[in-house]
Amino acid sequence: MQTSHLEIARDTLLSPYSLTDSSIETVFGDIMTHDADYADLYFQYSRSEGWSLEEGRVKSGSFNIDQGVGVRVVSGEKTAFAYSDDISLPALRDAAVATRSIARAGGNSATKTTAQNQNSRAASSRSSSLYTRNDPVSSFSDAEKVRILERLEQFARAIDPRVKEVMGRLSGEYEVVMVARHDGVIAADVRPLVHIGLTIIAEQNGRREQGHTGGGGRYDYHYFTDDVLRNIAAAGVREALINLDARPAPAGQMTVVLGAGWPGILLHEAIGHSLEGDFNRKGSSVFSGRIGERIAADDVTVVDDGTMQDRRGSLNIDDEGNPSQRNVLIENGILKGYMQDTLNARLMKTAVTGNARRESYAHIPMPRMTNTYMLGGKRSKEEIVASIKRGLYAVNFGGGQVDTTSGKFVFSASEAYMVENGKILYPVVGATLIGNGIESLKHITMIGNDMQLDSGVGVCGKEGQSVPVGVGQPTLMIEGLTVGGTA
């Protein structure tokens, strides 16, 4: 019989430090007072590594091991939090005392301190894991990891002689987490994560342009087969070569068609964050208090799904020990709900959605996205592009910013084309999309049947915490977006 996540977590996080069932109970005895609504302990062990390739050589490598425990108490709207990188009963009890002191002082704060039970109620869990439990860091030798980057460079340089520089980064992470809650629930997860990032610099007639791509997910390094590496290399080289022939982007208000897959990052930033429970509870989101209202075009359905197999944003359990879920946020244009953690669900008198996430044991959880995407429609990509009278076809995106209070966003397109009368004329550089998330949802006029998820590269930042996420969408037509250009 295969060892369970909880058994692995106990062997990794409790047994080496002589922690027992009664130890956990003692800590909760120290924490819980008559005015505490909730308390949890979040144990984490992680090891991670990174390898970088430049100028044909792997020039740097890094390796890190971290472990610790976070102790949290929630009373009303107040959160008291302490953490320690020492997993021991004295350190846990010190953290418990610190949280009680913070709670008595009032307000939300955090501090660092220095110094499972067969009868415990296990959190409900799915019958099988959403991803492998193999440790990427130990799955390959160092020489084999270096070889992955070397093959990636070889594949990229073989595509076109205009490729002048290839920069790659390979990273792997292995996490074991365990959550113990004051209500007796205990849950654990074993989380692998691998990623490759690739930057291509191509040159033609003295002009240099870049292409960026990558891939990964909750696998070990066996995921990076030659076929996967060839596809990653081809995507990066393709973008760089296209931009060598690109013209300055025009400016003005026009029809914009967004490509499938990674352009879903605009949906994630401009819409997704505004549907997280904390922003809506505080009334700072443009969607606050609007459940049941029409906020988008009729065919728009947006989902956040943490249960997708092997995906970068997937979780067997969230960081409060609740099973991840598939949550419909917008259905046929109607706002159906927000993403919730325990605190916000309790205060908003609604259900927990399995969206509590934290960067590490040294951070408090908050409502966060997992894999967020828009469902496909009925139109083909070709039909949508052919219907453009004059506009921009933005196939891929770079960075962007969004204001969750107003919904305003700014995003740069890394691969885009000028289109007139249904014909793609030429690629453009310097195109920036400017708009408002809630208004853009209403002006979606065509939705493709080609829904696609990103290749496994997303990282989401919120209040200083970064977590891996997934995004996706089909080809979309949006009327009346403002394009900032250089022409």
DSSP secondary structure string for all residues of 212-248: EEEEEESS-GGG--HHHHHHHHHHHHHHHHHHHT-EE
At residue 437 the predicted structure's pLDDT band, cuts being 50, 70 and 90, is: confident
Residue 363 and residue 70 in contact, taking contact as beta carbons nearer than 8 Å: yes
Residue 268 and residue 471 in contact, taking contact as beta carbons nearer than 8 Å: yes
174 or 400, higher pLDDT: 174
What pLDDT, on a 0 to 100 scale, did the predictor assign at position 115? 41
And the tokens for 203? 């040159």
Residues 6+ away with beta carbon under 8 Å from 211 = 199, 200, 202, 235, 236, 237, 238, 239, 240, 241, 242, 243, 414
Residue 159 phi, psi (nearest 5) = -75, -45
What pLDDT, on a 0 to 100 scale, did the predictor assign at position 34? 62
What pLDDT, on a 0 to 100 scale, did the predictor assign at position 103? 63
For residue 31, give the 3-state DSSP assignment: helix
What pLDDT, on a 0 to 100 scale, did the predictor assign at position 100? 76
Cα-based angle 378, 379, 385 (whole degrees, multiple of 5): 165
What pLDDT, on a 0 to 100 scale, did the predictor assign at position 122? 47
* Residue range 62-82, pLDDT digits in tens: 999 999 999 999 988 889 999
What pLDDT, on a 0 to 100 scale, did the predictor assign at position 354? 97
At residue 196 the predicted structure's pLDDT band, cuts being 50, 70 and 90, is: very high
Q: How far is CA 250 from CA 242, 253, 433, in A?
A: 17, 10, 11
Q: Which pairing describes strands 366-367 and 356-357: parallel, antiparallel, or unpaired?
A: antiparallel
Helix, strand, coil % over all residues of the chain, rounded to 5: 25, 40, 35
And the tokens for 76? 């009303």
- Indicate if the pLDDT at residue 477 is higher than 90: yes
And the tokens for 32? 């819980």
138-146 own/partner pairs: CB under 8 Å, 24+ apart: 138/174, 139/172, 139/220, 139/221, 139/222, 140/220, 140/221, 142/61, 144/221, 145/49, 145/51, 145/170, 145/172, 145/221, 146/51, 146/58
In 288-338, where does DSSP find H-type helix? none
Residue 194 phi, psi (nearest 5) = -130, 155
Residue 419 and residue 393 in contact, taking contact as beta carbons nearer than 8 Å: yes
Residue 265 and residue 400 in contact, taking contact as beta carbons nearer than 8 Å: yes
Q: How far is CA 383 from CA 328, 428, 477, in A?
A: 28, 21, 11
At residue 414 the predicted structure's pLDDT band, cuts being 50, 70 and 90, is: very high
The rounded mean pLDDT for the chain is 92
255 or 57, higher pLDDT: 255
**DSSP E strand stretches across 267-389:** 302-305, 326-331, 334-335, 356-357, 366-367, 371-374
Mean pLDDT of 350-366: 97
- Indicate if the pLDDT at residue 324 is higher than 50: yes
What pLDDT, on a 0 to 100 scale, did the predictor assign at position 111? 56
And the tokens for 243? 């931009």
* Residue range 83-130, pLDDT digits in tens: 999 999 999 999 888 887 766 665 565 656 544 333 344 444 556 899
Exposed e or buried b for every residue in 131-143, given b needs 16+ CB within 10 A? bbbebbbebbeee
What pLDDT, on a 0 to 100 scale, did the predictor assign at position 187? 96
**End-to-end alpha carbon distance in the chain:** 65
- Indicate if the pLDDT at residue 382 is higher than 70: yes
* Residue range 19-65, pLDDT digits in tens: 988 899 999 988 886 678 899 999 999 999 999 999 888 888 899 99
At residue 486 the predicted structure's pLDDT band, cuts being 50, 70 and 90, is: confident
And the tokens for 85? 């990188």
DSSP letter at 77?
T
Q: Which pairing describes strands 207-217 and 334-335: parallel, antiparallel, or unpaired?
A: unpaired
Percent of the chain with pLDDT over 90: 81
And the tokens for 399? 């960075």
What pLDDT, on a 0 to 100 scale, did the predictor assign at position 6? 94
- Please give the Cα distance from 355 to 360 (Å, whole number): 15
